[in-house]
Chain A
């Protein structure tokens, strides 16, 4: 990771982009804009049907065959307690790598890749966003847009993704 980051910076430097922060892939959930560190993103793919996993919380949508690898898919809306909506042609799966595990996030639509300077990132406020702030790294400002920056490690390594839970009768 560290290597990748430094190469990335190096590339930016060569291309004449001066950035102290990093690049974020932003996507939409409802009215809000969320961002993930672009280095965490492996690919973006259109939504395809998944296989449900028995006895798992509802935000775990199921698993997908991604070129031979079994990848769990998380419904971010459900995870954040937002109402589910009908999937559209814009619904995509953002495939991310978190601690060497590959996972997919279902989001309403991807929007942009934004450069956000470190100085433009503020700590997450304790209210306002429709999301549990413990999953946020901060709020980034890019132009007139506000982006909620997700903390992937915390978001996807909490209990239900890694540990076996007790199965209730």
Chain B
């Protein structure tokens, strides 16, 4: 059998990640709600799926290890064991080990056998300790205790024909049933078996009628067939045997559609691999599986070296359906327009305008929805923190309660991927520096348990993420002293609170008295700031001594589109990111001061800001050279402000950022280009870059 499984493997790794997350979240919640059977079931299902899937791809190390975890979980589920901190610890450690195993399976590296077998042994010991009765050491499956409530089930199972192509072995399922109780094969259903010359050895034609004596519930039995459930014919009857029902042979195409397109997982997979499996499957709906496997093989032959990971997004089908509806509308509008265009008379102008307006609405909505596809809830990025905080509180000997909110807030996938690390740093920082030890807290009259709060919400065109703790707050004097000591500031400098707080984002800065495993090395906060700014966001700090500290990250919703203000200088149009604009003013003569060698300053309500004439910086020909007649935009970046002079403000619009580097190179002071309403190119200003230019400029002039 030469079917290329690698596409399915990718899906397996992706799915496994999801299951791992589910298990981890579940385990952490389990500590709070030890008796929650739903939760246990959810964890169990996750583990079970990993076990089954990994078995089917031949990752035996993974499936064996998961099996051990599953056994412990099963005992928790059947209340043969209670949830204790030790058990949770062990399970969490095992989960980490499982993650490593799966990563190894993915990369093909050899896993750390010592760790695996060590944990495996502990899991077994834990399981044996839990039952403490009739288990015999060794690999023998646990003998189910003969309880009074033993059921006698009759099962008929006709697996889907593609069973072998998925790398599944029907006997494996029966063996698994055997682990639940005593299983007996009653009869073999051969009704689907074709004549020998028509027989395709890669198809599964057989069905089974089985008897099973077990104490387990029907759901447990059903869970065994989880992976093939959708396409199998499975009946489970809790009574003496019935006659096995034979199954009509489905048309091959239907089976393929069911297995390849309609079912949820396959659909997702097809979507994530659009150009690959999906298209081929769809195009060849009625083709035989051999043709498909051949096509797959051919494809892999054509691109043998392409082993790189392509990032994929799982998209809610609802989102896609809406998009398809919208595209339908767009097509209708377009045909109405072309109809109108083919026999247009001036009298129809109002109709034309109306339809153009409709087209505009359609386009805008499609744009929003398409951007929406990249939007994923931030909960994905938050999900790692319960575990992190649990580990941190253990290490630091602090009691920490983590409160998450706003997990449903959506933002761009790339942004989510990039904020994971900065957020981790901030949470670590709060746990290690922010919160006091229980003793200190009690002494300060606070509850023993510290609180870290993670919140995400939309604000204007931005998303705000706050990391808040109720700890000791930032120590102004300590930061100042350290800043002076490290030569970041001079002792004589008069700094505002905000400027002082910003010192902690300087590379190498740390006020922690002792360097811990967690933080205090002074690496991190500067990285946080750099990462966030790299995403076009800002970091701000609010702190009250003794009350706590709040870090606020402000990020753009997406990286591809920004809200901009179009401005004009002479004949050229530029776009200023709306985020960086504080206000725009028309200055009076007395507000402007010229300082020899330093350029011009403008007094805005008592603060002197450097005045930058955009036409000077970019060497353009302006219409106005008198600041009192022109417009000054007060821009802010990284806490620095500057007044930029332009001729006129044209309006506000959303612009799609296009790269200048793709075909040219970076231009100082320009963040990127965009296409304006009239089809020409406009440049988006980079405030940071402008400041650099003006600084270099003044430095040379001085």
Contact = CB atoms under 8 A, between A and B. Distances in A.
Contact of B658 (A70, A163, A169): A70
Interface in A35-53: 49-53
A169 B662 contact: no
Contact of A169 (B660, B666, B683, B696): B696
Contacts of A50: 681
Given A70-B659, A70-B681, A54 B664 contact: no
A131 interface: no
A41 B303 CA distance: 28
B622 to A, nearest CB: 13
A49 B678 CA distance: 12
30 contacts: A51-B680, A51-B683, A52-B572, A53-B664, A53-B670, A53-B683, A54-B619, A55-B618, A55-B667, A55-B668, A56-B667, A63-B681, A65-B679, A65-B681, A68-B658, A70-B663, A70-B664, A70-B673, A70-B681, A102-B663, A161-B665, A163-B665, A164-B665, A164-B668, A167-B668, A167-B696, A169-B697, A169-B698, A169-B700, A169-B701
A72 B663 contact: yes
Interface string A73-107: 00000000000000000000000000001110000
A33 interface: no
A54 B681 contact: no
Given A55-B619, A63-B673, A69 B668 contact: no
Q: Which of A51, A54, A64, A162 has the most CB of B within 10 A?
A: A54
Contact of A101 (B617, B663, B667): B663
B663 A64 contact: no
A56 B670 CA distance: 12
Contacts of B617: 54
Nearest to B701: A169
B669 A54 contact: yes
B667 A53 contact: yes
Contact of B665 (A52, A62, A162): A162
A116 interface: no
Q: Which of B617, B663, B667, B670 has the most CB of A within 10 A?
A: B663
A121 interface: no
Nearest to B660: A70
A58 B204 CA distance: 72
A124 interface: no
Nearest to A54: B618
B372 interface: no
B693 interface: yes
Contacts of A169: 696-698, 700-701
Contacts of A62: 681
Interface of A: 49-56, 62-65, 68-72, 101-103, 161-164, 167-169
Interface of B: 572, 617-620, 658-660, 662-670, 673, 675, 679-683, 693, 696-698, 700-701
A69 B618 contact: no
A101 B660 CA distance: 11
The 9 A-B residue pairs with the shortest CB-CB distance, nearest first, are A54-B618, A169-B700, A169-B697, A51-B681, A72-B664, A70-B673, A101-B663, A63-B681, A65-B675
B390 to A, nearest CB: 47
A156 to B, nearest CB: 10
Given A51-B572, A163-B665, A65 B680 contact: yes
Contacts of B682: 51
Contacts of B679: 65
Given A49-B680, A54-B618, A69 B662 contact: yes
Contacts of B664: 53, 63, 70, 72, 101, 103, 161
A160 to B, nearest CB: 9
A52 to B, nearest CB: 7
Nearest to A56: B667
B662 A70 contact: yes
Contacts of B666: 164
A168 B617 CA distance: 10
A55 B696 CA distance: 14
Nearest to A162: B665
Nearest to A64: B681
Contacts of A68: 658, 675
B668 to A, nearest CB: 5
B582 to A, nearest CB: 23
